[in-house]
Amino acid sequence: MAETLRKYGVKFGYENHPEKSIQEMTDKVGAGDEDVIGFCVDTGWFGTFSVDAVAALRAVSERLFHVHLKDVAAPEGHTTCRLGAGVVPIVACLHALQEMGYVGAISIEHEPEQYSPDADCMAALALVQQVLA
């Protein structure tokens, strides 16, 4: 896969969902080919599985290609909520990304099933812009 990625000038970022630890994440990606195979981290799944999101970001920092900022209401579930209102330390994650010198893409992810997330996403963008200013 790495050879094909290099041939076309693209990267593959593995997104964590079922992994319940940093080790499980890194085991999935394996060693080598760090220039084209890395991570697209979803912080919400860290909250779901009670994984230390800041430690996880730091652990994969050399291979971090993209970040989905997501918060969840409580561990053991995956009900998303406004950034900063749940169990994921969103501000600490943003500070860690700054300290690591991360300059890649950051997206805001929120998918409630009972209402439009527009207001929550606008508040989330304001929070992210304030912290990263």
| The pLDDT value given to residue 93 | 98
Q: What is the rounded average pLDDT of the residues 83-91?
A: 97
Produce one character per residue of 27-50: b if its CB has 16 or more CB atoms within 10 Å, e if not: eebeeebeebbbbbbbbbbbbbbe
Most distant CA atoms of the chain, gap in Å: 44
Cβ atoms of 48 and 70 within 8 Å: the answer is no
93 is written with which tokens?
Answer: 């994650």
Instruction: Domain count for the chain, please give it.
Output: 1
Confidence of residue 2 (pLDDT cuts 50, 70, 90): very high
Domain, as residue range, for 53: 2-132
Confidence of residue 112 (pLDDT cuts 50, 70, 90): very high
| The pLDDT value given to residue 7 | 95
% of residues, the chain, pLDDT over 70: 100
| The pLDDT value given to residue 96 | 98
| The pLDDT value given to residue 131 | 96
In the predicted model, what is the mean pLDDT of the chain?
95
DSSP one-letter string for 77-125: S--EESTTSSSS-HHHHHHHHHHHT--SEEEE----SSS--HHHHHHHH
pLDDT digits (tens, 9 = 90+) for 20-76: 998 999 999 889 899 999 999 999 999 999 999 999 999 999 999 999 999 999 999
Confidence of residue 97 (pLDDT cuts 50, 70, 90): very high
| The pLDDT value given to residue 13 | 95
CATH of the domain at 9: 3.20.20.150
